[in-house]
Amino acid sequence: MAIDKSKSVGLLDADIYGPSVPKLMNLKGNPELNDDNRMIPLINYGVPCMSMGFLVQDASPVVWRGLMVMSAIERLLRQVEWGSLDYLVVDMPPGTGDVQLSITQNILIAGAVIVSTPQDVALLDARRGAEMFRKLNVPVLGLVQNMSVFQCPNCHHHTHIFGSNGAKQLAETISVKFLGDVPLHLNIRETSDKGQPIVVSSPDSPEAEAYRKVASAVIQSLEEHTR
């Protein structure tokens, strides 16, 4: 399945305590307000983005209790002028806490994608996350296995540092789709740190293709759940 590049996508960074979208998308500054006093997302690579990282200083820790977190999430959801979007991707923090509950209470979520590394310790949290969304009546579109294999940039040897196929096996166990692998590769780390996503900086690379395959699998699963 090819990705329809005509679709408009927004990115909401809901990780209140550790927002990373400003760094990953090479964005900084405070969002402007429109005439309705709604925040206008910052845009790069054609993707409108909103993050708590735009509203606090880089080195300032966010030390908030549950009610403050829920208030911040509601502001990011309700007071942003997203315009007309086909998809709004919400990057949630790990775990099953206030952020996830607040979002599911505020908007209708079409589906959740669980991302995990292959080792058993990480898969425990992934399983809890999937069960949480099921209890909240949010369809689980599937699991993505991140850092699935280390690819040495010099000798090209592959090493399963975090174990092999853990997320794929978990997907089978809990009866959800396996959406694909993303490798642990130096190029991904370097381009992410520079705020130049691999699909933009090296679109023809195998690493970029891995992301496109995952994106296609997510869209296909979403369409199956919304028919």
DSSP 135-193: HTT--EEEEEEEEEEEE-TTT--EE-TT-SSHHHHHHHHTT--EEEEEEE-HHHHHHHH
Q: Which of 74, 113, 64, 75 is nearest to 92 (CA)?
A: 113
Cα distance from N-terminal residue to C-terminal residue, the chain: 17
Distance CA 72, CA 64 (A): 10
CATH code of 119's domain: 3.40.50.300
Residues 63 and 148 occupy one common structural domain = no
Looking at 77, 107, 137, which one is the last position of a domain?
Answer: 107
* Whether residue 157 sits in one domain with residue 79: no
**% of the chain residues with pLDDT over 70:** 93
| pLDDT (average), residues 98-109 | 85
Residue 216, judged by CB atoms within 10 A of its CB (0-12, 13-18, 19+), counts as middle
In this structure, the answer to whether residues 45 and 133 fall within a common structural domain is no
Where among 75, 107, 139 does a domain terminate? 107
Query: Does the global pTM surpass 0.85?
Result: yes
| Residue 1 is assigned to a structural domain of this protein | no
Verify that 119 and 205 share a domain, yes or no.
yes
How many other β-carbons are positioned within 10 Å of the β-carbon of residue 179?
Answer: 25
3-17, 60-74, 98-112, 139-153: range with highest mean pLDDT: 139-153
Output 63 or 104, whichever has higher pLDDT: 104
Instruction: Give yes or no for residue 114 having a pLDDT over 90.
Output: yes
